[in-house]
Amino acid sequence: MWSLSYIANALHDWLYQTFSPTLALIIEMVIAGIAVIGLFAVLGLVLVIMERRVAAWMQIRLGPNRVGPFGLLQSLADTLKLLVKEGMTPSGSDKFLFNLAPYIAMMVAMLLMAPIAFAKDFQLWDLNIGVLYVSAVSSIMVISILMAGWASNNKYSLMGAMRSGAQIVSYELSAGLSVLVVVVLTGSLKISDIIQSQADGWWIFKGHVPVLVAFVIFIIAVTAETNRAPFDLAEAESELTAGFHTEYSGMKFALFFLAEYINVFIVCSIGAILFLGGWMPFHIGHWEGFNRVMDYIPSSIWFFGKTFFLIFVIMWFRWTFPRLRIDQLLNLEWKYLLPISMINILLATAIAIAGWHF
């Protein structure tokens, strides 16, 4: 199987041969940080143009078609616009917290990149509690949203932030229980172990009904957690102008905007790792010839293909379903998704103990 590990290993060996161990480690961390920032920039540009193209396709219209060939440079034009736009700070706001909130959102997104396996043996940090780490760090995102809404000194921003807080805290329960279904069947919280457990088949195929139910609930819950339509109550334009980031402009608004798309990428990559095998190719039983052909496709292509498929599904939700009311949103979680998730994890536990999964 193709792997990017030889690049990382060659760079690692060269650094430790050229510099002292401490300096080599610092340089590796700097390179990793720059790589993540570069990935953020590329993902932001790609996902924005993808969102607009998907929206145009769903609504049978052209979408961006003026800036660059086929409108592909529209995202770059928007980025330049935000860079030169003046950043305003409301006079009655808590200036320190108002300016800090977007940076916390970006820092959380950067921390969440650490355990994700982008390809075979290509991972920033393969810690033994990878799934727990992702669940814990992702919950910090609500702090930046509450901070932004309260510090703006704007009633619409505060209302949007409070809605987002209730929404994220509620749907984290169902998302966490859905993740636990795969953890129970795998027997490990480590990302690499979860991927390796799918070498003979992805969990969505070999995990029976509990994994299918967990996958559906996971997609619904993470769509709500990332404040995406039809769960975008925190940014409901018809009610709250722009919600918690109403008072933000320029690069501060751009950071919130970018963090939202990066979070969509992260939750979809976690979904691809847990349910669709991550970078693991598609194998069918003892079909040796077919499996060898699948192995020739680079592992990074498998990972990004699965992740962008889930991103497309979440974008599909946005342009298909109408926005829910806040009472409907909370009823969906507490009366339906949470009870189903609790029964589902009990069923998954029974299957894991009995060894009924493939």
101-113: pLDDT as tens digits: 999 999 999 899 9
Q: Give the type of residue at 178.
A: S
pLDDT in tens, 203-223: 998 888 999 999 999 999 999
Per DSSP, helices labelled H in the chain are 5-18, 21-58, 74-84, 95-112, 130-138, 141-151, 155-186, 191-196, 203-206, 208-225, 237-240, 250-275, 288-295, 299-318, 326-331, 338-354
**Whole-angstrom distance, CA of residue 203 vs CA of residue 304:** 18
Exposure on the CB side of residue 231, measured as CA atoms within 13 A: 25
- Cis? peptide before 230, omega within 30° of 0: yes
pLDDT-derived band at 160, boundaries 50, 70, 90: confident
Task: Specify the 3-state DSSP secondary structure of 118.
Answer: strand
- 182: how many CB neighbours lie within 10 A of its CB? 25
The overall average pLDDT reported for the chain is 88
Q: How long, in residues, is the chain? A: 358
Radius of gyration of the CA atoms of the chain, in A: 21
Helix axis angle, 250-275 relative to 141-151, nearest 10°? 160
C-alpha pair distances (Å), 316 with each of 105, 235, 320: 25, 18, 6
* Per-residue pLDDT tens over the stretch 245-282: 888 888 888 888 888 899 999 999 999 999 998 898 98
The fraction of the chain above a pLDDT of 70, given in percent, is: 96
Task: Express as a percent the part of the chain with pLDDT over 90.
Answer: 35
pLDDT given for residue 238 in this prediction? 66
Query: What residue segments make up the domains of the chain, in order of their start?
Result: 90-354
pLDDT in tens, 194-208: 999 888 889 998 888
pLDDT band at 177 (very low <50, low <70, confident <90, very high): very high
Q: How far apart are CA 128 and CA 192, in angstroms?
A: 9
Mean pLDDT of 168-193: 92
> What is the full DSSP assignment across 184-240?
HHHT---HHHHHHTTTTS-HHHHSHHHHHHHHHHHHHHHHHHTT-TTS-GGG-HHHH
Distance between the two ends of the chain, CA-based, in angstroms? Answer: 24
Least-confidence region, from 37-46, 60-69, 83-92, 197-206: 83-92
* 358 — pLDDT class (breaks 50, 70, 90): low
